[in-house]
Amino acid sequence: MSENGNAPKTMEEELNPDNAKRLKWAEFVEQVVLDFFSGHKLEKIAVEDGNGNKAKLSRTKDNGVKVEYSSTVLM
C-alpha cells in the first residue's frame, strides 16, 4: 500500500483511468446488480449512478437475463 492509505492502482487504472472506471461499472452491473435482480426474481430493473452510467436488466421468455449498459466518458 502507498503511504497515503490508498490501495495501489492497477495497470489499467494507471494507463487509462476512464476505461478502468468503465470496467468497474460493467463489473458492478454484471455482479452486484445481477445478483440482486436474480435473488429478488425481478422482471425488470434500471440502474443509474448519476454520472451518466446506466444499465437495464430484463428477464427473457426463456428465463434468461438480458443486460444492457452504457458508460459516459468526458473528454
* Better-predicted residue by pLDDT, 16 or 55: 55
Digit-coded pLDDT (tens) for 9-52: 666 667 777 776 666 888 899 999 999 999 999 999 999 988 88
Domain count, the chain: 1
Domain contains 1: no
pLDDT for 13 equals: 66
Alpha-carbon gap, residue 14 to 43, rounded angstroms: 38
Domain contains 26: yes
Range(s) of the domain holding residue 35: 11-70
Domain contains 2: no
Q: Is the pLDDT of residue 2 over 50?
A: no
Domain contains 28: yes
pLDDT for 1 equals: 43
Domain contains 65: yes
pLDDT for 48 equals: 94
pLDDT for 10 equals: 63
Domain contains 5: no
Do the bridges between strand 44-48 and strand 54-59 make them parallel or antiparallel, or are there none, so unpaired?
antiparallel
Alpha-carbon gap, residue 4 to 6, rounded angstroms: 6
